[in-house]
Structure 1
Amino acid sequence: MKRMKRGQPDFDCFHVQFRVAGSRALFSDPVFRIGGERASYPVPTEEALVGITSSVYWKPSIRWIVDKVRVLNRIAMEPISVKPRNFINGWNVSGKRRAKEATSRPSNTLSSFAYLQDPAYEIYAHFEFSNDPLYKNDRNPLKHYNMFIQSLHHGGRFDVFLGTRECPAYVTDIQVDEASYYQQYQEPMDFGFMFNRFIYPEYPDNLQNDDPIGKTIMHVVMNQGVIDFAALHQAGNDRTDFFTKRK
């Protein structure tokens, strides 16, 4: 990606693309977290990809929307045994304030986390301007596009993670003609229903009423290594449920 100059189409200024990779990833499946263990989805969720893009460049005047993601490496799981600390009533059981509970319960338990091994993705996204009038003077797409490119070349404005903090990642430009492991597969790969992303009330609804926060569940299908979120939304593969009213 290169910087744009004045006079180029504004449509191109809203769209970005970049590559992210790391040694491992953990896009947690909420079903496995109930028992204290964690297992990753086979592919990243849209919410995780929005978080990665926001880590590269974030401004309150814009919001990121992921169009599609391209899976480059083979999907492989790597189990790792860990010993997470036990907590009772908000205190570590190995601390002196809960010595009585520590004698009745062990300070560590053995758990198994399932990580994705050597993940690499190409993310295609675009941004939209916020409706908040506080940022009405910060709606220059060319400026935000060039600032994103500068942040990308410096590795992002914030630390980039693939799902969780113990999975750091690196962002770079998309490499030309980089092949995907799954581009040889003609049949689509069905991953079933997955958590997709959260739905937050936008301005002025987030201040004037008690609109609840929602979550989206999506039937994810990958075609030759590409998950087109925009097409899946348009085809009706997602369903949004809302939590209870905010207090």
Structure 2
Amino acid sequence: MSGRRCGRTHGRFGSAQIETNKFQSTLPKGGATVCVNEYAVPLFDGVWNALTMIPARSCIYWRYLISYLSQSNNVWYTGVANNEDASMKGGKMSIRLEVWGENALFSRSEFKTERVTYDVMTPSAARGILEAIFWHPGMRWRIDRIHVLNPIRFGSIRRNEVDSVINIGKIRTMAEGRGDGGAIYTAESIQQRSSTILRDVRYVIDAHFELNRAKMSSTDSAEKFQSMFMRRAAKGQCFHHPYFGTREFPLEFQLWQESGDPVGFEHGHRDLGYMLYDFDYRNPAHPTPLFFRAELDDGVLDVESVEVGS
């Protein structure tokens, strides 16, 4: 059995780059090298074509195939295989998650009392959903695209709220054994406020995460984090139940099940105006909101390379 020589081979879902490493000299003469997700795998005729046909985002399929190959051949090769299409791009691991719910409220910052939603989910809300499923101090979620699958429909509701917040100074006083901590009694502080919300929403989130090596242990890796997220999302596990903007509007989620790309609800261009992108936490005491010009193209909000500003 012989392997393919080092080079770039293109499949349906992208390309895989093979790079020889320093261990090449210890391997059988004339062998090609390949390693997927840091696992050395045997390479023989007919297998390379199978490898390049697997969707890059289907990380779990790579692992199953590797497990099978490791028992099927006694000739081993090593190196680095990096699919540039989706699985890993410049060291960034990608995922695709479908989320849906009955209601959503992504509050516009320019409205102070009556809450009015943005037309679509904001990138910061999408990040919050992913962090609810899996988060680690050694990683940072970045949103690439938000596919809007259902038509944008608005509704209006009225809710009972209170007109004040608890004073932190009164909390300190209560901790010292004096006062009631500034308790708020709804019967005395109740107000009824209107909110403009979204109805029957469904999105697909394309995202990746970047690593912060300073906050990772020696056993952590990008593959480990992605595997943990995929497993938790497939089982419906989360640290806290994710929601659409407010906890009153919980959502359902699952990994994207279709083989093709999501299809937006409309064709054409739609300008959504300025939208909240996220917060800049470089100064934790005073986070700075960041905004960008949001545009829907064929039902897709692409935020991978947008310009943001405060």
Cα shift at 1:87: 3.5
Higher RCO, Cα 8 Å, sep 6+: 1
Give the 3-state SS of the residue equivalent to 1:161 in structure 2: coil
1:198 aligns with 2:284: no
Native 8 Å contact 1:10 1:142 kept in 2:
no
Native 8 Å contact 2:147 2:263 kept in 1:
no
Tell me which moved more, 135-144 or 221-230: 135-144
Cα shift at 1:8: 5.6
Cα shift at 1:83: 1.7
The equivalent residue for 2:206 is 124
Query: What amino acid does structure 2 have at the position aligned with 1:91?
Result: A
Give the 3-state SS of the residue equivalent to 1:180 in structure 2: coil
Query: What amino acid does structure 2 have at the position aligned with 1:40?
Result: T
Cα shift at 1:92: 2.0
2:295 to 214, 221, 224: 221
2:94 to 6, 15, 22: 15
The equivalent residue for 1:91 is 183
Which structure: larger Rg? Answer: 2
- Separation in 1 of the partners of 2:231 and 2:134? 9
Native 8 Å contact 1:27 1:163 kept in 2:
yes
Deviations along 1:148-188, one digit per CA (max 9) or x if unpaired, are 11011121322111111111011112242554311xx22x1
1:65 aligns with 2:138: no
- Separation in 1 of the partners of 2:156 and 2:232? 34
Are the structure 2 counterparts of residues 86 and 129 from structure 1 closer, same or farther at C-alpha, using a change threshold of 3 Å?
same
Tell me which moved more, 71-80 or 153-162: 153-162
Cα shift at 1:211: 9.2
Are the structure 2 counterparts of residues 214 and 113 from structure 1 closer, same or farther at C-alpha, using a change threshold of 3 Å?
same
1:75 to 152, 158, 176: 152
Deviations along 1:71-97, one digit per CA (max 9) or x if unpaired, are 0001111101112133376432457xx
CA-atom RMSD, angstroms? 2.4
The equivalent residue for 2:218 is 137
Query: What amino acid does structure 2 have at the position aligned with 1:19?
Result: E
- Separation in 1 of the partners of 2:105 and 2:287? 24
Cα shift at 1:60: 1.2
Cα shift at 1:56: 1.6
Structure 1 residues 36-51: aligned runs within 5 Å? 37-51=114-128
TM-score by length of 2: 0.62
Are the structure 2 counterparts of residues 171 and 216 from structure 1 closer, same or farther at C-alpha, using a change threshold of 3 Å?
same
- Separation in 1 of the partners of 2:264 and 2:271? 17
- Separation in 1 of the partners of 2:163 and 2:226? 45
Work out the number of aligned pairs and report it.
213
The equivalent residue for 2:190 is 108
Native 8 Å contact 2:149 2:265 kept in 1:
yes
- Separation in 1 of the partners of 2:193 and 2:292? 28
1:181 to 254, 257, 265: 265
Cα shift at 1:2: 5.5
- Separation in 2 of the partners of 1:72 and 1:51? 20
Query: What amino acid does structure 2 have at the position aligned with 1:76?
Result: R
1:166 aligns with 2:239: no
- Separation in 1 of the partners of 2:219 and 2:248? 35
- Separation in 2 of the partners of 1:94 and 1:143? 47
Are the structure 2 counterparts of residues 16 and 85 from structure 1 closer, same or farther at C-alpha, using a change threshold of 3 Å?
same
- Structure 1 unaligned regions, length at least 5: 96-101, 242-247
1:155 aligns with 2:228: no
TM-score by length of 1: 0.77
Tell me which moved more, 80-89 or 214-223: 80-89
Cα shift at 1:10: 6.6
Native 8 Å contact 1:18 1:173 kept in 2:
yes
Are the structure 2 counterparts of residues 81 and 94 from structure 1 closer, same or farther at C-alpha, using a change threshold of 3 Å?
closer
